[in-house]
Amino acid sequence: MKLMRVGPQGSERPALQHTDGTIRDLSGEIEDIAGAALLPEAIAALQSLSPEALPVIESGVRIAPCVGRVGKFICIGLNYADHAAESGMEVPKEPVIFMKATSAICGPNDDVYLPRGAEKGDWEVELGVVIGRVAKDVSEAEALEHVAGYCVVNDLSERAFQLEHGGQWVKGKSADTFGPIGPWLVTRDEVGDTSNLGMWLDLNGERVQDGSTKTMIFNVAHVVSYLSRYMSLQPGDIISTGTPPGVGFGMKPTRYLKAGDTMRLGIEGLGEQAQTVHQG
User: 244, 239, 193, 248: which is closest to 217 by C-alpha?
Assistant: 244
Residue 269 has a pLDDT of: 98
How many CB atoms within 10 Å of residue 115? 16
Q: What is the pLDDT of residues 223-266, one digit of tens each?
A: 999 999 999 999 999 999 999 999 999 999 999 999 999 999 99
Sign of the C-alpha dihedral computed for residues 85, 181, 200 and 223 taken in this order:
positive
Residue 255 has a pLDDT of: 97
- Any domain includes 38: no
- Any domain includes 175: yes
Domain that residue 157 falls in = 68-279
- Any domain includes 17: no
- Any domain includes 26: no
Residue 84 has a pLDDT of: 74
Q: What is the pLDDT of residues 6-56, one digit of tens each?
A: 999 999 999 999 999 999 999 999 999 999 999 999 999 999 999 999 999
Tell me the average pLDDT across 175-189.
Answer: 98
Q: What is the pLDDT of residues 67-87, one digit of tens each?
A: 999 999 999 999 998 877 777
Residue 147 has a pLDDT of: 98
- Any domain includes 149: yes
CA distance 214 to 17: 27
CATH code of the domain covering residue 145: 3.90.850.10
Q: What is the pLDDT of residues 141-180, one digit of tens each?
A: 999 999 999 999 999 999 999 999 998 999 999 999 999 9
- Any domain includes 182: yes
- Any domain includes 191: yes
Residue 113 has a pLDDT of: 98
Instruction: Determine the length of the chain.
Output: 280
Q: Give the number of domains in the chain.
A: 1
